[in-house]
Amino acid sequence: ERRAAATAPITPGALADGTEVPLLANLGSAGGIDAALAAGAEGVGLFRTEFLFLDATSAPTVQEQREKYRELLAAFPKQKVVVRLLDAGADKPLAFLNPEHEENPAMGVRGLRALRANEDILREQLTALAEADAETDADLWVMAPMVATAEETRYFTALAHELGLKTVGVMVEVPSAAITAKAILRDAAFASIGTNDLTQYTMAADRMLGSVAHLQDPWHPAVLTLVSMVGAAGAELHKPVGICGEAAADPLLAVVLVGLGATSLSMSPAALADVRAELRNHTLDEAKRFAELAVSADDAGAARAAVIAAIAQKE
Ligand code: PEP
Ligand code: MG
Closest C-alpha to 28, from 55, 56, 49: 49
Terminal Cα-to-Cα distance of the chain (whole angstroms): 34
Mutate to test the pocket of ligand 1, among 44, 47, 48, 227 (most ligand atoms within 8 A of CB): 48
Residues within a 6 A CB radius of ligand 1: 46, 48, 87, 173, 194-197, 244-245
Length of the chain: 315
Q: Is 173 annotated as a binding residue?
A: yes
Atom of ligand 1 nearest to the CA of 247: 3
Q: Write the DSSP symbol of residue 294.
A: H
Nearest ligand to the CA of 193 is 1
Residue 273 belongs to what H/E stretch? helix 272-279
**Spans in the chain with pLDDT lower than 70:** 1-9
Q: Please, is 13 exposed, middle or buried when counting C-beta atoms within 10 Å of its C-beta (0-12, 13-18, 19+)?
A: buried
- This model's pTM is above 0.90: yes
Catalytic residues: 244
Q: What is the pLDDT of residues 11-28, one digit of tens each?
A: 999 999 999 999 999 999
- Return the pLDDT at 167: 98
Helices (H), 167-220: 175-179, 181-187, 195-203
Measured between alpha carbons, how far is 161 from 164 in angstroms, rounded to an integer?
5
**pLDDT on residue 8:** 57
Range 192-206 burial, b when 16+ CB lie within 10 A, else e? bbbbbbbbbbbbebb
What is the secondary structure of 27-81 as a DSSP string? ESSGGGHHHHHHTT-SEEEEEEGGGGGTT-SSPPPHHHHHHHHHHHHHTSTTSEE
Q: Which residues surround ligand 2, an ion (CB under 5 A)?
A: 173, 194, 197
Residue 40 burial (CB count, 10 A):
18
Query: What is the tally of helices (H) and strands (E) in the chain?
Result: 14, 8
Most ligand 1 atoms within 8 A of CB, residue of 24, 197, 243, 253 to mutate: 197
Instruction: Give per-residue pLDDT as tens, 209-231.
Output: 999 999 999 999 999 999 999 99
d(CA 216, CA 228): 18
The annotation status of 20 as a binding-site residue, yes or no, is no
H or E stretch at 120 = helix 119-134
Which atom of ligand 1 has the smallest separation from the CA of 145? 6
192 neighbors 174 (Cβ within 8 angstroms) = no
Mean residue pLDDT across the chain: 95
Count of C-beta atoms within a 10 Å radius of residue 179: 16
199 CA distance to ligand 2 middle (Å): 10
pLDDT tens per residue, range 130-170: 999 999 999 999 999 999 999 999 999 999 999 999 999 99
pLDDT for the residue 99:
82
Q: Which ligand is nearest to the CA of 196?
A: 1
CA distance 170 to 168: 7
User: Which residue minimizes the CA distance to atom 8 of ligand 1?
Assistant: 196
User: With contact defined as beta carbons under 8 Å apart, do 143 and 84 qualify?
Assistant: yes
Q: Is 207 annotated as a binding-site member?
A: yes
118 is in an annotated binding site: no
Task: Report helix, strand or coil for 191.
Answer: strand
Residues 23 and 11: their CA atoms lie apart, in Å, by 10
